[in-house]
């Protein structure tokens, strides 16, 4: 089987995000970048499927992002993926989901695939659209927010489990298809030290928009981010202080009644 | 700390950090209370490559250098210093000695099991009358046909009761203090080998420290490392790497303590002020962080020299002396920043404070490091003046 796993470079979940003064993006200094958490589940599921499918099955990581994303692609190779395609182009500095999906769909098509795994959303902009737009463009079924995955014995069909209110939904899909992954699907493996050494020899094919056959940006973006605006500063809390608890409570009740007017 | 790492080094650091936080942190508290780690953790560390970082591929190792070992040890030790020392001894001492001095038969038999984490390594020099003074070793090894009979005892041996391969230094010639010491690989299945007293220690409670007893312990001649009389050379060669490992362990403890100190002082308020905003706290933080980074640079330098195949006894000792000293001063200050609660088991700093102490004691006390350093400095001077 030819298995694709999509990977996006995003700020570390622990990073403190600040909007830059121009309102065009976030302050980059001191921010660590990591593989999008949900994409880690996608890579892991791709590796598990390869082990099950056997034969000459192969996992290719597909990433669109700046040059700095190479290290994260390499990390996925260290986890065990076979090779990677890294689409990077200055024109793709801030693509909208439609453009991203068009580029990724073309790259996936060029590569050929039986199944595509990706995260259910990227944890940076939380758009969660790529898999659905790609599925439409590639004209293949999509099953989203997967918490379980099983392949049929003949490798032609998959059963995907989705967690819904009060139970699980089992969706059977023909292949090729795109499956977006949710937390709980699996426990992603670490990039082992031997894996890191092996990954150095694995191929990462860098591609530009021109390499993918696009003259300019694939199609006009459908949306644009106008401005990034920081949240208004919270008005903060007031500490009620008094020598005695009894006095503090009396003061608190007075404030709730007279200032906040909720009593 | 900002330091130019290459891609693979950053990736190794991240794997070690993720592993330590996700796998070690949840069990570290219980392991330190119970006094041992579930062996499965070392298997997992073996699978990830942590138990054979500097060993060649053919023995299941990763074929990396001491510098990468240091990066990994720092991360592991920051979460559990007990696991740190087990990993350090295993990699820098046991693996290294076997690779460099054991017969091919022994290497092929033991190294794959060591690098996979199936088997742990230990290193036994100290006796009741010998330790800093290695030449005072009394444990005797007498050749009888195809084997040696070992008699005596070793004390304070980390991982001694769970190790599958123990490097034991013994006396093969009672008349020659220096050339009469030899090194052996002792396997716990050998007849006449037993575990004596299990120590109750101040810190590193998840790492076992025991006495090893040898009563006509039968060691095959093939388990002799190098040749008879090479014991001191092997011991000191191993310790150059071992000291870099303990320096790395110290860095991990120190980093964890600094982080705890900063975290706590930002939360704790006294006199309507976060204590991190008092100048006395600020001065401490600046000094702790500066010393820590200086210690890290000394350690990285020593590791890189060893990887380049250069002699680095002085540099290893400097790294170990300064990093262990720094770790102890940082845990002291970080505990002070906590105030009284830092003295309770509720706070991580209490464990870090206890764990740090031994870094100035084992693999050569700070006094021994100063002997090594001063001897090298004086020799350098003497070589620089014309006859």
Q: Which residues of B touch A197 (CB under 8 A)?
A: 8, 62-64
A244 and A202 inside one domain: no
Q: Is B328 part of a structural domain of the chain?
A: yes
Determine which helix (DSSP H) or strand (DSSP E) holds B362, and give its type and residue range.
none
Instruction: State the catalytic residue, choosing from B23, B363, B379, B382.
Output: B363
Distance separating alpha carbons of residues B384 and B246, to the nearest angstrom? 32
Tell me how crowded residue B187 is: count the other CB atoms within 10 A of its CB. 18
CA-nearest of B231, B34, B257 to B135 is B231
Instruction: Determine whether the interchain pair A191/B11 forms a contact, defined as Cβ–Cβ distance below 8 Å.
Output: yes
Structural domain including B166 reads 122-229
| CATH code (residue A51) | 3.40.50.620
User: In a 10 Å sphere around its CB, with 0-12 CB exposed, 13-18 middle and 19+ buried, how is residue A66 labelled?
Assistant: middle
Q: Do A192 and B10 touch (CB under 8 A)?
A: no
In terms of domains, do B142 and B167 share one? yes
A213 by Cβ neighbours in 10 Å (0-12 / 13-18 / 19+) ranks as: exposed
The count of CB pairs under 8 A between chains A and B is 42
Residue B387 domain-assigned (yes or no): no
Position A94 scores a pLDDT of 82
- Cα distance from A176 to chain B (closest Cα, Å)? 33
In a domain, A221, yes or no: no
CB contact B53 to A (< 8 Å): yes
Q: Are B225 and B97 in contact (CB under 8 A)?
A: yes
Domain identity same for A186 and A238 = no
Query: Pick the residue with more confidence: A220 or B120?
Result: B120
How far B72 CA lies from chain A's nearest CA (Å)?
A: 10
Question: Is B1 a member of any domain?
Answer: no
Whether residue B320 has a cis bond before it, omega within 30° of 0:
no
> Is the pLDDT score of A242 beyond 90?
no
Q: Does residue B50 sit at the A interface (CB-CB below 8 Å)? A: yes
Write out the residue range of the structural domain in which residue A255 sits: 232-263
**What kind and span of H or E run contains B77?**
helix B66-79
Which pLDDT tens digit goes with each residue over A41-94? 999 999 999 999 999 999 999 999 999 999 999 999 999 999 999 999 998 988
User: In chain B, which residue's Cα lies nearest the Cα of A196?
Assistant: B8
CA distance B163 to B127: 18
Cβ within 8 Å, pair B64-A193? yes
CA distance A61 to chain B (A): 17
Share of chain B above pLDDT 70, in %: 100
Would residue A181 count as lying in a domain? yes
Same domain, A79 and A8: yes
Residue A217 has a pLDDT of: 77
- When pLDDT is cut at 50, 70 and 90, the band that residue B36 belongs to is confident
- Torsion of Cα atoms, B189 then B193 then B197 then B200, to 10°: -40
Alpha carbons B223 and B31: distance in angstroms, whole number: 33
Distance separating alpha carbons of residues B217 and B208, to the nearest angstrom: 22
- Cα four-point dihedral sign B211, B217, B223, B225: positive
Contact (CB<8Å) B49/A78: no
B58 touches chain A (CB under 8 A): no
What's the pLDDT at A29?
84
pLDDT for position B192: 98
Q: What pLDDT is stored for residue A234 in this prediction?
A: 76
In this structure, the answer to whether residues A146 and A261 fall within a common structural domain is no
Distance CA B88, CA B248 (A): 9
Which pLDDT score, from 0 to 100, does residue A222 have? 87
Cβ distance B56 to B180 under 8 Å?
Answer: no
CB contact under 8 A, B15 and A191: yes
What is the DSSP code string of A107-149? HHHHH--SEEEEESS-TTT----HHHHHHHHHT--EEEEEEEE
Kindly state whether residues B245 and B326 are assigned to the same domain.
Answer: yes
Rounded to the nearest angstrom, the minimum Cα separation between B63 and chain A is 9
B75 is catalytic: no
Whether residue A185 lies inside any domain: the answer is: yes
Contact B62 A193 (CB under 8 A): yes
**ipTM of the prediction:** 0.91
| pLDDT band for position A138 (cuts 50, 70, 90) | very high
pLDDT at A218 over 80: no
Are residues B245 and B377 part of one domain? Answer: yes
- pLDDT in the model for residue B104: 97
Six token digits for residue B305: 């020299």
Residue environment code for B246-275, b if the CB has 16+ CB neighbours within 10 A, otherwise e? bbbbbbbbbbbbbebbbebbeebeeeeeeb
- B241 lies in the same domain as B345: yes
Domain count, chain B: 3
> What would the mean pLDDT of A11-38 be, rounded to a whole number?
90
pLDDT at residue B124 tops 80: yes
Query: For residue A240, how many other CB atoms are within 10 A of its CB?
Result: 14
Query: Residue B6's pLDDT band (boundaries 50, 70, 90)?
Result: very high
CB-based contact, B67 to chain A, within 8 Å: no
């Amino acid at each position: 089987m030819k298995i694709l796993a999509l990977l996006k470079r995003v700020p570390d979940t622990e990073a403190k995000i600040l909007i830059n003064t121009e309102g065009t993006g976030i302050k980059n200094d001191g921010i660590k970048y990591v593989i999008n958490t949900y994409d880690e589940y996608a890579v892991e599921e791709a590796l598990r499927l390869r082990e099950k499918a056997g034969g000459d099955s192969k996992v290719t990581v597909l990433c669109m992002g700046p040059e700095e994303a190479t290290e994260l692609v390499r990390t996925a190779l260290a986890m065990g993926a076979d090779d990677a395609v890294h689409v990077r182009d200055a024109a793709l500095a801030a693509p909208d989901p439609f453009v991203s999906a068009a580029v990724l769909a073309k790259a996936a098509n060029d590569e050929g695939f039986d199944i595509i795994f990706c995260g259910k959303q990227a944890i940076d902009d939380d758009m969660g659209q790529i898999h659905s737009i790609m599925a439409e463009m590639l004209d293949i079924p999509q099953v989203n927010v997967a918490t379980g995955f099983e392949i049929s014995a003949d490798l032609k069909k998959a059963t995907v489990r989705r967690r819904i209110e009060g139970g699980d939904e089992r969706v059977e899909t023909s292949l090729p298809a795109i499956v977006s992954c949710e937390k709980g699907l699996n426990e992603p493996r670490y990039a082992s030290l031997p894996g890191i050494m092996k990954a150095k020899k694995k191929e990462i094919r860098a591609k530009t928009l021109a390499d993918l056959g696009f003259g300019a940006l694939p199609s006009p973006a459908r949306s644009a981010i106008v401005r990034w605006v920081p949240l208004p500063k919270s008005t903060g809390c007031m500490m009620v202080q008094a020598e005695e608890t009894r006095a503090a409570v009396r003061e608190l009740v007075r404030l709730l009644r007279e200032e906040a007017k909720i009593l | 700390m900002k330091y130019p790492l290459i891609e693979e080094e950053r990736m190794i650091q991240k794997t070690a950090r993720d592993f330590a936080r996700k796998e070690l942190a949840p069990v570290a508290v219980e392991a330190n209370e119970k006094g041992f780690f579930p062996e499965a953790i070392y298997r997992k560390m073996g699978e990830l490559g942590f138990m054979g970082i500097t060993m060649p591929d053919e023995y299941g190792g990763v074929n990396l250098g001491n510098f990468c070992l240091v990066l990994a040890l720092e991360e592991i030790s920051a979460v559990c210093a007990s696991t740190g020392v087990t990993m350090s001894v295993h990699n820098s001492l046991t693996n290294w000695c076997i690779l460099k001095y054991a017969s091919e038969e022994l290497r092929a038999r033991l190294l794959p099991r060591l690098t996979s984490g199936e088997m742990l390594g230990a290193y036994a020099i100290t006796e009741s009358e010998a330790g800093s003074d290695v030449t005072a070793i009394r444990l005797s090894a007498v050749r009888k046909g195809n084997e040696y009979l070992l008699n005596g005892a070793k004390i304070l041996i980390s991982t001694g009761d769970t190790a599958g391969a123990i490097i034991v230094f013994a006396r093969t010639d009672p008349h020659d203090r220096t050339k009469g010491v030899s090194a052996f690989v002792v396997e716990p299945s050998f007849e006449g080998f037993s575990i004596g007293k299990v120590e109750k220690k101040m810190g590193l409670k998840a790492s076992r420290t025991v006495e090893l007893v040898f009563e006509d312990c039968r060691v095959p001649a093939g388990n002799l490392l190098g040749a008879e009389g090479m014991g001191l050379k092997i011991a000191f060669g191993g310790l150059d790497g071992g000291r870099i490992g303990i320096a790395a362990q110290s860095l991990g403890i120190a980093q964890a303590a600094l982080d705890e100190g900063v975290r706590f002082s930002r939360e704790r308020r006294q006199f309507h002020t976060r204590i991190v905003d008092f100048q006395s706290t600020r001065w401490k933080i600046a000094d702790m962080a500066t010393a820590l980074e200086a210690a890290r640079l000394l350690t990285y330098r020593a590791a890189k020299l060893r990887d380049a195949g250069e002699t680095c006894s002085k540099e290893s000792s400097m790294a170990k002396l300064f990093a262990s000293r720094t770790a102890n001063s940082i845990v002291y200050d970080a505990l002070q920043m906590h105030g009284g609660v830092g003295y309770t088991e509720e706070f991580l700093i209490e464990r870090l404070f206890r764990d740090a102490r031994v870094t100035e004691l084992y693999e050569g006390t700070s006094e021994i490091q100063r002997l090594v350093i001063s001897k090298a400095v004086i020799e350098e001077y003497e070589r620089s003046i014309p006859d």
